[in-house]
Structure 1
Amino acid sequence: MKSKFFVPAFVMLGVLSSPSVLAEQKWSDASLTYLKGDNYKVGDNDRQVMTFEHATGQDWGDTFFFIDHTVASDGSKNNYFELAPRVSLSYLSGKELKKGIIKDVYLAGTMEGSANADNYLYGVGVGLDVPKFKYVNLNLYKANNGKQMDDEQITATWALPFQVGNAEFLYDGFIDVSTKQSDHAAETNFTSQIKWNAGKQLFHTKKPIYVGVEQAQWNNKYGIDGVNESNPSFMIKAHF
């Protein structure tokens, strides 16, 4: 039987992420991404993906949401989304928890949704202050999985801006590592993007328009033992 703990946790996170209780929004970002790759595993290997992303930072924490709409060359379509709010323990306690490279400590949650299954992850996270990086985050989760046995997951995300001459680049991505259970293998998904801000240099846009490559390196994809994916994809990403 699944743990019931995640239910009140997600109720709390959902309430805090609603606009009606936002005390102060510090920043917000939205983007649309187009991806084209031809080395996907599990299903058709040639796919196009449109992704909408939205992230915000508030005085009580932060939220990240994305939805992928995937169209394969065989005509099949799929939607997948994640909603990941985090609540600052500094905000809840009224005491600043910043120490060393740790900027803050969070209650962290993620909902993963698709036509196949919904998964609920809950745990703790930290924001790290690493020189030259725009952000580095680390979250440790317990996962209540819809169709597989529950497991644990650690997630790292980062963004590293850099310049070559007058050209602006960004290297960002995530690593998900989940544990092995009797019905699925241990899984690692290392996905990163390296991209050039063509919008600023060519069109003088205020918001970035990136052109680059996404590299997905997946071991035991979806927990299927021996299914490994190395998939470079052409990408265009516009922020607004």
Structure 2
Amino acid sequence: MGKSLSVLIGVISLSFTPLALAKQLWSDFSVSYLQGNDYLNPFGDYEYTSKVVTLEHAAGHTWGSTFMFMDRLASDDGSAHETYGEIGANISIPLLMGEARKDSFIKNYYVAVQTEHQSKDRGFNNYLYGVGVNLAVPGASYFNVIVYRRNQDDFGIGKEDNNQLTIT
């Protein structure tokens, strides 16, 4: 990493220090365990068992929200022993500017950042950044739309950087 990029990352990180000191408004944490049997390996023509442990955490803050999850996957045939996770934050522009929320179709708009990580023999790290909106859709508790630019690691199919649309 070049010196100028390191300095830029440092300046950006320091500018978000007040965000880390902000008040947490709510949070949720869950742990789940899933096991499946009789999966068919299409390349080896045999069946195997797979287990996944998932940790999830989401929180709302006075500056926006965070979400993270981590999956630990293990299969009895040895084909999959890996950890995959994502960590993301949505930084609310109106909340940072001290603006009151308005009763409109667009409830909030924000800058979104996320990282994806897989640890395996040839794991990867992907970095995403973009913009999003929280919409007031009748009948939905929340409805978010985020457009990301995805900086791909040099592993896997479609190694080139690309765009991603996430709707929740």
TM-score range, shorter chain: 0.7 to 0.9
Q: Which residue of 1 aligns with 2:144?
A: 137
Aligned equivalent of 2:63: 60
Contact 1:17/1:85 (8 A) holds in 2: no
Structure 2 residues not aligned, in runs of 5+: none
* Residues in 2 aligned to 1:137 and 1:41: alpha-carbon distance in whole angstroms: 36
Name the count of aligned residue pairs: 150
Alpha-carbon deviation of 1:11?
Answer: 3.1
Counterpart Cα distance in 2 of 1:30 and 1:132: 25
Deviation at 1:17, TM superposition (A): 5.7
Q: Check conservation: 1:102, 1:129, Cα contact below 8 A.
A: yes
CA distance in 1, matches of 2:152, 2:26: 32
TM-score by length of 2: 0.75
Decide which structure has the larger Cα Rg and report it: 2
Inter-partner Cα distance in structure 2 for 1:149 and 1:106: 26
Structure 1 gap ranges (5+): 158-240
For the aligned residues, what is the CA RMSD?
Answer: 3.1
Determine the structure 1 residue equivalent to 2:115: 111
* Other structure's SS at 1:11 match: helix
The 1:13–1:56 alpha-carbon spacing in structure 2 relative to 1, beyond 3 Å, is farther
Cα pair 2:127 2:150 within 8 Å, conserved? yes
Alpha-carbon deviation of 1:8? Answer: 6.5
One-letter code aligned to 1:11: S
- The verdict on how the C-alpha distance between 1:122 and 1:98 changes in structure 2, with shifts beyond 3 A counting, is farther
Q: Which residue of 2 aligns with 1:121?
A: 128
Do 2:89 and 2:113's aligned partners in 1 also have CA atoms closer than 8 Å?
Answer: yes
The Cα of 1:93 is off from its aligned counterpart by 2.2
Cα 1:9–1:140 shift into 2, 3 Å:
farther
TM-score, with structure 1 as normaliser: 0.54
